[in-house]
Structure 1
Amino acid sequence: MIPVRGYKDKRVAVLGLGRSGLSAALALQAGGASPVVWDDNEPARAAAHDLGLDVQDLSKDRPWVDVVSLILSPGIPHLYPRPHPIVAKAWAMNVVVDNDIGLFFRSYATRDWDMFDNQPQVVCVTGSNGKSTTTALITHILRAAGKPVQMGGNIGRGVLDLNPATDGEVVVMELSSYQTDVARSLTPDIGVFMNLSPDHLDRHGGMGGYYAAKRRLFIEGGPERAIIGVDEIEGRALANEMRQEVVSGDPVIAISTTQKLRGAGWSVFARKGFLAEWRKDRQMASIDLRDIQGLPGAHNHQNACAAYAVCRSLGLSPKVIESALHSFPGLPHRCQVLGAARGITFVNDSKATNVDAAAKSIGAFKNIRLIIGGQPKEGGIADLAPVLGDVKSAYLIGAAAEEFAKQLPDTPHQISGTIEAAVQQAIEDADVGDVVLLAPACASFDQYKNFELRGDAFVAAVAPFLAEGAG
């Protein structure tokens, strides 16, 4: 745990008692603060009470006496589509609003660092798609290279649950727009901007607000190295803003999977399955990504480019990085190849919760039996049309099924309703060489609590067929 600094003997309110909220309250307590906690759900309040935390209804006035800050969990809206009433209350009482990410950055560095030979560093990864895989991949490469490393944030452990820094350690954090939008302190050593596609727009008041939340990590944080995907206009604009040196482009490393990036600046790009590093008008390294099973498809090649750029910035050699890429197992629910039986391959990409992510997943395979649907997002799946050529049939599930059926006039499809029915129907229809792919392009909340449980349901439905095939 990282004890929170700067609040000793002060009262601090915490709203939301999930993983990040509970760890924030306990870290505040460890740093000498007096946390006052609340959650709209009674079971969460009971769990906090059992941990000895002071649970008080923050919708009332009395708990706010002498409170100096409100720490907000990422799932709670602070501005759009409307502020949570307790956030509005904090504003009215001139109480500053922060989150666990802000507390981490004000608390991670301590006087003990003066004794270290090598200063710890923090890498933060944000973007619409690929954050989790890139964060895990960076951590995997550093660990394979023998470097001390911890992973947290939106993946793994809550940031305040991490251990205090050790000599030369690297903390790799995945940060969502919900986290970067609220944090009052953002000071990463290396910032990574993967990409941007429409998502969470109701939470941010539109695409501009969504981009602004991501941009804060760089403009407010001022990282010493900014690794930026330039395949969208927002990334190109951000890279231009961050450039300080005209010739070298420092501190920016541009990454791409759609174009060759050359010139005097530092760039890493992937084309036709090969990763290339260019610097000072010459190629520094090249890696063949085509046979790396844990990183299938162009979207994973972008993840590889970002992780490579981070690890090169941290001093690792191309050969060390290449070796570690080959041993990366991939992440569950993210283009996860479950196996094959009777010539049919099964892939779980439950994390493909928006159209852009689903399109990238579809683009990684041929001869696809696509399972799609769930709680739909704005715009439906009309933008998938350019990548549906390799989809032999679609199986529609969840609340979006009827709506999506109308948007697939040229793709054979049927309404399956559930993942279990969709898997059975896909297996019955599949030929040797086909891929049964779960890439929902939707949130999971109509049928499942989260995308992980949706992916688990797919894995469970597929398991008997894989077992039978193995037998």
Structure 2
Amino acid sequence: MIPVQGYTGARVGVLGLGRSGLSAARALKEGGAVPVCWDDNDAARAKAEAEGFETAKLTGATLKDLALLITSPGIPHLYPTPNPVIKEALQMGVPVDNDISLFFRSFATSEWDNLDVTPRVVAVTGSNGKSTTSALIHHVLEHTGRATQLAGNIGRGVLDIDPAIDGEVVVLELSSYQTDLARALTPDIAVFTNLSPDHLDRHHGMGGYFAAKRRLFSEGGPERAIIGVDEDEGLYLAGQMAEGPQDDRVIRVSVERKLTDFGWTVFAKKGFLSEYRKGRQIGSIDLRAIKGLPGSHNHQNACCAYAVCRTLGLAPRVIEAGFASYPGLPHRSQIVAEAGGVTYVNDSKATNVDSAVKALGAFKKIRWICGGLEKEGGVSALSDAASEVLKAYVIGREASGFAMQLAGVETEVCTSMEVAVARAMEDAGEGETVLLAPAAASFDQYDSFEKRGDHFADLVKAGLG
């Protein structure tokens, strides 16, 4: 645990008692603060009370008495409308913050003066690929024997990790919900993978969404910024961070074009990763045979992870060996079975159109299971990416409407995962891939994308006997 510094004896409100909220309460208490907790859910409050925490409705005099209000990332603080507790706190002048900020304020301690190598923090954000990028960095570091912890939006909560040891690297995956509110953001290395439409209601459009991601760089002032420049927003961000094209504090990343005219770049073309510095190639990796990193979207993740590891001083061949043993993350282009010449892939994390497009581009001869709770903007753009789709098997409560948007794609309305998997397995032949890449949220039929992916995997394994 990372004890929170700076609030000894102070009353600090904690709004929302899920994973991050309870973690923050524990870390505040460990640091000498007095947490005052609230959640509208009776069971969540009961759990906090069972741990000895004070619970009280955060309003009026109780709220005014707080030195700080910590809120969970899922609670809106501005758009689409502010949570009433947060709005009242702001009206009273009570600072509002989150656990990510508490981590950055509290991670470094006076004990670091006795360490030979200062610990470092790598923070990864973006629309797609941030989980894989974070996990891949962590895996490569583990492969080399370097002390490392993985936390944030993946792995453990940021305040649940252990105090740093000599030379340790903490890798954080941070969502826009987490970066948007944090008052302190000070990573040593910051990564921006890409940007595509997502969470637009929460951020009041693409501009607000990008602004939330950009705060990791503009507020944090990282020593090195690793930025995907295949979208206009990344291109702009790299331009804002660099003093000129040869400024190697910014590492530009691409999977769409060669980048040879800058101080430091990493790009991938046709499955080959290349590292250039000041116009000269100094490293390369053939990514095509790495089963845990299929497709150009994973090649972008590999480029970002490679750039981080090079910044941390690892040699290209060492990084390549770490990549080769990377098993991939569950629900992200995860191969769950191979039988009869058919490959079964679980990409349930493809919850938006852009991530599904990337999944469709990673495989050939696809039997595609898709559908679910549509996000803003519809799914018609998927048709242009479906050249390798032999047939789509559509699930979800609105499966018929989803299927109608897939112009030019043979579809079968299955509604349930059971029917979709059974029909795809019946139809699939040698050399084909049965791919779950929903391009939609799971909440019409499942509690989470993880449960959706697990259901798919269980049905495949049961069908194969």
Equivalent residues of 2:2, 2:163 under 8 A apart: yes
Q: State the alpha-carbon separation in 1 of the partners of residues 439 and 52 from structure 2.
A: 41
Equivalent residues of 1:135, 1:173 under 8 A apart: yes
Q: Tell me the equivalent position of 1:205.
A: 204
Code of the residue aligned with 1:309 in structure 2: it is A
Q: Tell me the equivalent position of 1:233.
A: 232
Code of the residue aligned with 1:163 in structure 2: it is D
1:450 Cα offset (Å) = 1.1
Q: Tell me the equivalent position of 1:52.
A: 52
Q: State the alpha-carbon separation in 2 of the partners of residues 416 and 164 from structure 1.
A: 50
Of 388-397 and 425-434, the range deviating more from structure 2: 425-434
SS of structure 1 residue aligned to 2:266: strand
Q: State the alpha-carbon separation in 2 of the partners of residues 366 and 413 from structure 1.
A: 17
Equivalent residues of 1:341, 1:465 under 8 A apart: no
Structure 2 residue 349 is the aligned partner of structure 1 residue 320? no
1:31-430 equivalent positions in 2, closer than 5 A: 31-58=31-58, 60-244=59-243, 246-430=244-428
Code of the residue aligned with 1:430 in structure 2: it is A
1:260 Cα offset (Å) = 0.2
Code of the residue aligned with 2:50 in structure 1: it is D
Q: 1:306-354: CA deviations, max 9, x gaps?
A: 0000000000000100111000000000000112122221100000010
1:440 Cα offset (Å) = 0.6
Q: State the alpha-carbon separation in 2 of the partners of residues 65 and 259 from structure 1.
A: 54
SS of structure 2 residue aligned to 1:67: coil
1:65 Cα offset (Å) = 4.4
Q: State the alpha-carbon separation in 2 of the partners of residues 444 and 236 from structure 1.
A: 32
Equivalent residues of 1:294, 1:328 under 8 A apart: yes
Q: State the alpha-carbon separation in 2 of the partners of residues 237 and 399 from structure 1.
A: 40
Aligned length: 465
SS of structure 2 residue aligned to 1:21: helix
Q: State the alpha-carbon separation in 1 of the partners of residues 393 and 273 from structure 2.
A: 35
1:415 Cα offset (Å) = 1.2
Code of the residue aligned with 1:147 in structure 2: it is R
Equivalent residues of 2:361, 2:385 under 8 A apart: yes
Q: 1:200-245: CA deviations, max 9, x gaps?
A: 000000000000000000000000000000000000000000002x
Identity %: 62
Q: 1:134-182: CA deviations, max 9, x gaps?
A: 0000000011111110010000000000111111110000000000000
Of 142-151 and 407-416, the range deviating more from structure 2: 407-416
Q: 1:95 to 1:65 in 2, by over 3 A?
A: closer
1:63 Cα offset (Å) = 2.4
Equivalent residues of 2:122, 2:172 under 8 A apart: yes
How large is the Cα RMSD of the aligned pairs? 1.0
Q: State the alpha-carbon separation in 1 of the partners of residues 326 and 57 from structure 2.
A: 46
Q: Tell me the equivalent position of 1:431.
A: 429
SS of structure 1 residue aligned to 2:237: helix
SS of structure 2 residue aligned to 1:187: coil
Q: 1:3-35: CA deviations, max 9, x gaps?
A: 000110000001111111110000000000000
SS of structure 2 residue aligned to 1:440: coil
Q: 1:34 to 1:370 in 2, by over 3 A?
A: same
Code of the residue aligned with 1:39 in structure 2: it is D
Code of the residue aligned with 1:263 in structure 2: it is D
Of 190-199 and 81-90, the range deviating more from structure 2: 81-90
Code of the residue aligned with 1:431 in structure 2: it is G
Q: State the alpha-carbon separation in 2 of the partners of residues 265 and 40 from structure 1.
A: 52
Q: State the alpha-carbon separation in 2 of the partners of residues 424 and 110 from structure 1.
A: 56
Q: Which runs of 5+ in 1 are unaligned?
A: none
Q: Tell me the equivalent position of 1:27.
A: 27
1:247 Cα offset (Å) = 4.9
Code of the residue aligned with 1:367 in structure 2: it is K
Q: State the alpha-carbon separation in 2 of the partners of residues 98 and 65 from structure 1.
A: 15
Structure 2 residue 460 is the aligned partner of structure 1 residue 462? yes
Q: Which runs of 5+ in 2 are unaligned?
A: none
Equivalent residues of 2:382, 2:406 under 8 A apart: no
Q: Tell me the equivalent position of 2:18.
A: 18
Q: State the alpha-carbon separation in 1 of the partners of residues 392 and 245 from structure 2.
A: 49
Q: State the alpha-carbon separation in 2 of the partners of residues 168 and 154 from structure 1.
A: 23
SS of structure 1 residue aligned to 2:453: helix
Q: State the alpha-carbon separation in 2 of the partners of residues 401 and 38 from structure 1.
A: 39
1:110 Cα offset (Å) = 0.6
SS of structure 2 residue aligned to 1:152: strand
SS of structure 2 residue aligned to 1:347: strand
Equivalent residues of 1:123, 1:188 under 8 A apart: yes
Q: 1:181-206: CA deviations, max 9, x gaps?
A: 00000000000000000000000000
SS of structure 1 residue aligned to 2:251: strand
1:99 Cα offset (Å) = 0.2
